[in-house]
Amino acid sequence: MRMVTLSGHVDYLRGGAPAGELAALGESMHADMARMYPLCRSLSGDGVRATLDILEETLGLERREVPSGTRAFDWTVNDEWNVRDAYIADLQGRRLIDFREHNLHLVSYSTPVRARMTMEELRPHLHSLPDRPDWIPYRTTYYNRTWGFCLPHRQLQELDEGPYDVVVDATLEPGHLTYGELVVPGESTDEVMLSAHLCHPSIANDNLAGIVVATRVARLLQSLERRHHTYRFLFAPGTIGSITWLSRNADVLPSLRHGLVLTGLGGPGALVYKRSRHGSRDIDRAAGHVVGRRGGEVRAYSPYGYDERQFNSIGFDLPFGRLSRTPHGEYPEYHTSADNLSYVRPPELVDAYTAVLEIIDVLENDRTYRNLSPYGEPQLGKRGIYPTTGGRSASDAVMAMLWTLGYSDGSTSLLDIARVADLSFTDIRAAATTLAGAGLLGDP
Ligand code: ZN
């Protein structure tokens, strides 16, 4: 699926690609997720590095290692956490709850433990979901040093008074916070930044889906002959990762023109775009248009969610929106073992990938033209650009050309025209290319 231009690739994905090719793309993205799914990611540690190892197979990532104790604005990089083993066993040595079976069984950032305990002593350290008795919850204790296990409520109810052997064979000591960064240079130093968090262990939609969509977008952008913007991809643990990145990249911030946080893109539900704090930045117009045309939802900013809240914070005030499907906390599988590989489906991954490229197509190609034949309607037929075959798509193409001619006054952009015409940007952009090629549109 190698295309010379981004627009060509977007048009291909939207209309020309054989269904089998799109299905294969989705399966391939899902297979990438399946490789990363078992790794025990957290705010730091070897699971993060192993995930970046996989991304590095296809992307020339720069890996950053930031020492524990490093200050980042109001935050301090935590100690590094790694787990060798963790379980709760009965006195016969049978493992009843086993980290090796599912890494959600262990509360992330649990401190080391080796003890024999009664149920009464153990119970405050056990977490379950009474209303979802078959699911394992996802819990973290990043900034409060304790330990815990998570288990299905049904299993909790079956445990007797004990005693039990409890083992958390983990290290929590000075090390590093690890993140990956990729810069794909363009003709301009103006940057578009896409970020996806990589701190969740065996959870699929939140946010392996965002990671594989970002990875494919990066690969596609790298394959293009030209890009206007420079593209920067950040794969970092949530909150502390983006704040640490912000603290080390003051020189980059003035070049950041558009930003998008990618998360939760593989589950059911339509796309949801969350605007930047200002709500009317270029990324809001571009993503709002694309998501709206795709039947998705556009929401206002709120200072809660993923890393958009760091980028949009008053001190940085960067134009970052967020693209997801059903947002965090609004689906029951959120932060449980039910957010697994079967919750995320290949067609949704392909749809999200296409939507991100469409948004980038707007950022790359929205521009303003002047109609060079503004006295009445120019005759398209004599220029050979009036479709001679009938049908809906032909009439759509004519309508897109008429709208583009009708509004290209030197100050109305192609995206503005698409909105007025209630047509997609891709249709208007394609019409403008045809019209400019026929000498009917020129610089404003
Ligand atoms: Zn999460």
Please give the span between the terminal C-alpha atoms of the chain, in angstroms, as a whole number: 34
Closest CA to 416 of 298, 296, 289, 273: 289
Cβ atoms of 308 and 231 within 8 Å: the answer is no
Q: How far does the centroid of ligand 1 lie from the alpha carbon of residue 429, in Å?
A: 37
Q: What is the Å distance from ligand 1's center to 300 Cα?
A: 20
Work out the pLDDT band at 1, boundaries 50, 70, 90.
very low
Residue 33, φ and ψ in degrees, nearest 5: -60, -40
* C-alpha 241 – ligand 1 centre gap (Å): 14
pLDDT tens for each residue of 270-293: 999 999 999 999 999 999 999 999
% of the chain surpassing 90 pLDDT: 95
Mean pLDDT estimate for the chain: 96
CA of 231 to the centre of ligand 1 (A): 25
The CA 205 to ligand 1 mean position distance, Å, reads 9
Quickly state the pLDDT bin for 389 (edges 50, 70, 90): low
Report the interhelical angle of 425-437 vs 282-293 (nearest 10°). 110
Cis peptide before 347 (omega within 30 of 0): no
Q: What is the Cα Rg of the chain in Å?
A: 25
Which pLDDT band, with edges at 50, 70 and 90, does 171 fall under? very high
Residue 331 CA to ligand 1 centre (angstroms): 12
C-alpha of residue 138 to centroid of ligand 1, in Å: 9
Q: How much distance in Å is there from the Cα of 25 to the middle of ligand 1?
A: 25
Q: Which of these, 80, 78, 139, lies nearest to 106 by C-alpha position?
A: 139
Q: DSSP for 161-214?
A: S--EEEEEEEEEES-EEEEEEEEE--SSS-EEEEEEE---SS-IIIIIIHHHHH
Residue-wise pLDDT tens digits, 189-240: 999 999 999 999 999 999 999 999 999 999 999 999 899 999 999 999 999 9
For ligand 1, the distance from its centroid to the CA atom of residue 181, given in whole angstroms, is 20
**What pLDDT, on the 0 to 100 scale, is given for residue 387?**
76
Residues 6+ apart with CB under 8 A from 13: 22, 350, 353, 354, 357
**C-alpha of residue 258 to centroid of ligand 1, in Å:** 23
Residues in CB range of 381: below 8 A, 6 or more apart: none
62: CB partners within 8 A, 6+ apart: 180, 181, 182, 183
Asked if 141 and 201 touch (Cβ cutoff 8 Å), the reply is no
pLDDT-derived band of residue 390, with 50, 70 and 90 as boundaries?
low
Nearest to 359 by CA among 408, 291, 406: 291
What is the predicted pLDDT for the residue at 284? 98
Q: What percentage of residues in the chain have a pLDDT greater than 70?
A: 98
pLDDT of residue 386: 86
What is the whole-number distance in angstroms between the Cα of residue 401 and the centre of ligand 1? 45
pTM recorded for the entire structure: 0.96
Ordered by where they begin, the domains of the chain are: 6-77+176-365 (3.40.630.10), 83-173 (3.50.30.90), 368-442 (1.10.10.10)
List of residues 6+ apart from 120 with CB closer than 8 A: 161
> Angle, to 10 degrees, between the axis of helix 425-437 and the axis of helix 346-365?
40
pLDDT at 170: 98
Residue 173 tokens, joined: 């000591």
Residue 402 CA to ligand 1 center (angstroms) comes to 46
| pLDDT over 80 (residue 4) | no
Residue 201 CA to ligand 1 centre (angstroms):
10
Instruction: Tell me what pLDDT residue 16 has.
Output: 78
How far, in Å, from the CA of 72 to the mean position of ligand 1?
A: 22
pLDDT at residue 3 is higher than 80: no
Q: Which strand (E) or helix (H) includes residue 234?
A: strand 230-236
DSSP state of 119: H
Q: What is the mean pLDDT of residues 41-48?
A: 98
281 CA from centroid of ligand 1 (Å): 26
pLDDT of residue 391: 62
- Tens digit of each residue's pLDDT (9 = 90 or more) over 324-375: 999 999 999 999 999 999 999 999 999 999 999 999 999 999 999 999 999 9
**Six token digits for residue 391:** 């049908």
Q: What is the mean pLDDT of residues 422-426?
A: 96
| CA of 336 relative to ligand 1 center, distance in Å | 10
Instruction: Give me ligand 1 centre to Cα 190, in Å.
Output: 30
Ligand 1 mean position, distance from CA 350 (Å): 22
Q: How far is the CA of 261 from the centre of ligand 1 (A)?
A: 13
CA distance 109 to 44: 9
Is the pLDDT assigned to residue 427 strictly greater than 60?
yes
Prior bond of 319 cis (ω within 30°):
no
Any idea which residue has 């590094």 for tokens? 80
How much is the average pLDDT of 25-32?
98
Of 173-182, 257-266, 392-401, least confident by mean pLDDT is 392-401
